[in-house]
Copies of this chain bind each other. A is one copy, B any other.
Amino acid sequence: MTTDLPEESYRDRLKVRLLQVAESVLATEGLAALQARRIAQESSCSVGTLYNIFGDIDGLILQANERTLQALGGILTAAGQRTADSSLEIRLMALATAYLDFATVNQLRWRAVFEHRLADDREVPQTYVNDRRRLLALIEHQLDTTLTAPQARSDAAHALFSAVHGIVLLSIDAKLGPFVPAMCERQIKFVIENVARGLTPRDAISKQ
């Protein structure tokens, strides 16, 4: 029906507005504050309309978190491009410190990505899976020539992402002591420097 057009366009605009409000609440107050009634009210629509667009509050949270993943992806891509001609250690450190800076600056949005849990019977939407895959692909790409077996490279990218995430998380949460950004960076460097050295073939070293 041609009359659907203006209706859809209103719906699209409303969706954008709801996501903007949700992102702003996430950024300033965190995941716990992301309640359907509040987001609907601040977007001047009903809770029913919000649910109609996103399915439920989890649907809205997932899309807001996807935008955080995309913003993070943009930062990591820039760091990767900036260091494209450097050694493995320097490239991985650039990604890792960009991650630390992103988490520090966007702390509540970043936390929301990891704090949000879907019901066990609920599948993560494909668009979210794709955004996540793009992030991991950025790390895998650094290992293209170092680890040629796809499974090993995928494991390594998962491991490096999670290891750096763990260091950043426990540092920012002050779980092992007060948060000292320089100390956090030293810890990241310890892992990346030694992993990069461990991954470098021995004959490459002896030839240096």
Structural contact, A167 and B176, CB atoms closer than 8 A: no
Which interface residue of A114, A158, A197 has the most chain B CB atoms within 10 A?
Answer: A158
Q: Does A188 contact B (CB under 8 A)?
A: yes
Q: Please give the distance in Å from A92's CB to the nearest CB on chain B.
A: 11
Structural contact, A176 and B162, CB atoms closer than 8 A: yes
Q: Does A186 contact B (CB under 8 A)?
A: yes
Q: Please give the distance in Å from A119's CB to the nearest CB on chain B.
A: 12
* Contact for A193 among B191, B196, B198, B205, CB less than 8 A: B198
Q: Does A166 contact B (CB under 8 A)?
A: yes
Q: Please give the distance in Å from A162's CB to the nearest CB on chain B.
A: 4
- A residues 131-185 near B (Cβ < 8 Å) are 132, 136, 152, 155-156, 158-167, 169-171, 173, 175-177, 183
* Contact for A167 among B132, B162, B186, B202, CB less than 8 A: B162
Structural contact, B187 and A162, CB atoms closer than 8 A: yes
Q: Does A199 contact B (CB under 8 A)?
A: yes
* Contact for A195 among B165, B176, B198, CB less than 8 A: B198
Which B residues are CB-close (under 8 A) to A175? 114
The 6 closest A-B pairs by CB, nearest first: A166-B166, A194-B198, A163-B163, A197-B198, A159-B187, A198-B198
Q: 17 new A-B pairs (CB below 8 Å) besides A136-B176, A158-B176?
A: A132-B176, A155-B187, A158-B167, A158-B170, A158-B177, A159-B167, A159-B188, A162-B167, A162-B187, A163-B163, A165-B166, A190-B195, A194-B195, A196-B198, A197-B198, A198-B198, A202-B202
